[in-house]
Structure 1
Amino acid sequence: MIKTLIIDDEPLALQQLAAYVSKVPFLTLVGECQSALEARDIINSERVDAIFIDINMPDLNGMDFVRSLVAPPLVVFTTAYSEYAIDGYKVNAVDYLLKPFSLDDFRRAALRVKERYEHANTPLSLPTEPEPELTDENIFLKTEHKVVRVKIADIRYIEGMSEYLKVHIIDQPRPIIMLLAMKRMEERLPSNFLRIHRSYIVNMNHVQEVTKNRIVMDADTYLPIGDMYKEALNNYLADKYLGR
């Protein structure tokens, strides 16, 4: 099931969205919010896979809210203003629903969400997909039209971005971007690399601090911890830390 959060400052619009979600079998409603600030609290406290969010809202509009998220869920914007469509796709929105929209319109958007969700959470099976080649100390990653050798110990963390991965390396200002499923990468890395979120794998050797809901890599980099990954992280830490 795709855990879905709906956000709209208009009660009637929120009621309609809730009714539509209930009619799509692969969506499950985890919350209804009338502001982006309220939605942020839910996203920070529990797993949310997708959001249907209005753009024009007081305090913080939907577009700015999505831009502010470290690891945004899959996003479908809902609004009465068609001029926002291009801006919506600039933030990698899955779809854009122009009000008033029908149940059929909503279902089409929901199917796009399902397709993107399954793509991000299922290993790719394309025969042309490059697999990283693992040696004792190095991994070979295909990016653009070349293959780059990377020292495994120098990988700080890996960020999922739809069907692409961003591999963040020590002392490199720009990550390596490659086409590969997150699960495939996770399976080929050593045990000090942990999946902490559906969008993040971290090299625990480069972690500075672990709090209840996030991992601190450095003064400027904070990564969220997803609920479904907390147990594995806690088990790893239990074998490593000293103290009560």
Structure 2
Amino acid sequence: MINCAIIDDEPLARDGMAGYVRDISFLTLAATCESAVEYSTLPPQQTVDLIFLDIQMPKINGLNFLKTMQHPPMVIVVTAYPEYALEGFQLNVLDYLLKPVTFDRFFQSATKARDYYHLLKKNHTSDVSPAGGTADYFFVKCGTKYEKVYFDDVLYVEGMQNYITIHTRRGKYITMHYLKTLEENYLNNQLFIRVHKSYIVSVNKIESIQGNEIVIGTHRIPVSRSYREQVMQQVVMNKLWDKSK
């Protein structure tokens, strides 16, 4: 069961979504709030797995509120304003619904959240070993299949909104996941390094660094300015053979 919270300052919108939630067997309504401020007062023991979040609300904009959350749950934006879609997906929202929302569209979005939730639960319990663990492989859901991927085969990982593409020596795997979650919970930070907001690479697979690009075989991965110093220190300087010494 997925615990949901609705944050919307419109009473009719809250009531409508609450009715939709009650009609979906795998959702349960944990809280309804008329503002992000009210949501922030929920007791710490109140578990929320999924937020249906409005944008234009008093005191604090929904997306600005999302930016303040260190470890946000899954978020589905529900708004009358299409112009915020790009910013929403840059914040890794799971879906973006435009009001008025039909039950069919709401159910489609909820099903997407359920699949992602089950993937996270499966990874946390058995398929993916946390960073520093001893397992040498993990499973990812690609379409209707669960694919086995060995950590040693991974070349780099590319983030695309709420999806990632895992590039390996055997091919690539596309799965619904957040790059940040993968980095913080599953990848050993001695073996993998973030080089860009959208890329994590395997340190051992790096063949060279040319300007602002990392070369791994035929792949060229960009290194952003904000990560370059860390990359150079961890990848190059610690292993640099300086013949002048």
**What range describes the TM-score normalised by the shorter chain of this pair?**
0.5 to 0.7
CA 1:104–1:31: 2 relative to 1, 3 Å:
same
Shift of 1:13: 0.8
Aligned to 1:107: 107
TM-score (norm 1): 0.57
TM-score (ref. length: structure 2): 0.56
* Cα deviation 1:122-144 (Å, max 9, x = unaligned): 1325444124xxxxxxxx79451
Match of 1:35 in 2: 35
Distance 1:52 1:105, change over 3 A: same
- Matching residue of 1:130: 150
Q: Which amino acid aligns with 1:129?
A: V
CA–CA distance in structure 1, aligned partners of residues 102 and 46 of structure 2: 29
2:183 is aligned, of 153, 160, 165, to 165
**AA partner of residue 116 (structure 1):** Y
Code of the residue aligned with 1:130 in structure 2: it is: Y
The percentage of aligned residue pairs carrying the same residue is 35
* Counterparts in 2 of 1:162 and 1:120: CA distance versus 1, 3 Å: farther
Task: Tell whether the 8 Å contact from 2:193 to 2:200 is kept in structure 1 after alignment.
Answer: no
Partner of 1:90: 90
Query: Taking structure 1 as reference, are residues 127 and 27 closer, same or farther at Cα in structure 2, changes over 3 Å only?
Result: closer
Query: What CA distance in whole angstroms lies between the structure 1 residues aligned with 2:108 and 2:183?
Result: 27
Q: Which amino acid aligns with 1:24?
A: I
CA contact (8 A) 2:194 2:201 kept: no
Q: Kindly tell me: are residues 121 and 30 of structure 1, through their superposed partners in 2, closer, same or farther at Cα, counting changes over 3 Å? A: same
1:116 corresponds to: 116
Which residue of structure 2 lines up, in the alignment, with residue 60 of structure 1?
A: 60
Contact persistence 1:165–1:178 (CA under 8 A): no
Q: Distance in 1 between matches of 2:180 and 2:115?
A: 11
Q: What do you get for the CA RMSD once the two structures are aligned?
A: 3.0
Which letter maps to 1:164? L
> Which amino acid is the alignment partner of residue 47 of structure 1?
T
User: Deviations 1:62-102 (Å, cap 9, x if unpaired)?
Assistant: 10111110110100001111111111111111111100111
Change (3 A) 1:161 1:98: same
Residues 116-195 of structure 1 mapped to structure 2, 5 A cutoff: 116-122=116-122, 123=127, 124=139, 126-131=146-151, 142=154, 144=156, 161=179, 164-166=182-184, 167=187, 169=189, 177=200
What are structure 1's unaligned runs of at least 5 residues? 132-139, 148-159, 180-244
The structural deviation recorded for 1:173 is 9.0
Question: In structure 1, what is the Cα distance between the partners aligned to 2:153 and 2:48?
Answer: 30
The one-letter code matched in structure 2 to 1:103 is F
- Per-residue CA deviation, residues 4-46 of structure 1 (Å, 9 max, x unaligned), is 0001001111111110100110001100000101112327442
Q: Kindly indicate whether the alpha-carbon contact (under 8 Å) linking 1:2 and 1:26 is maintained by their aligned counterparts in 2.
A: yes
Aligned partners of 1:161 and 1:48: how far apart in 2? 21
Instruction: Encode CA deviations 1:134-183: one digit per residue, 9 max, x unaligned.
Output: xxxxxx79451799xxxxxxxxxxxx75772335759x99599479xxxx
- CA change 1:116–1:127 in 2 (3 A) is closer
Residues 146 and 119 (structure 1), Cα distance of their counterparts in 2 relative to 1, 3 Å cut: closer
Which blocks of at least 5 consecutive residues in structure 2 are unaligned?
A: 128-138, 141-145, 157-166, 170-177, 203-245
Aligned to 1:4, the other structure's residue is in SS state strand
The higher relative CO (CA closer than 8 Å, separation ≥ 6) is in 1
Does the CA contact (< 8 Å) of 2:194 and 2:200 recur in 1? Answer: no
- Aligned residue pair count: 158
| SS at 2:21 equivalent | helix
Query: For the residues of structure 2 that align with 1:31 and 1:50, how far apart are their CA atoms?
Result: 11
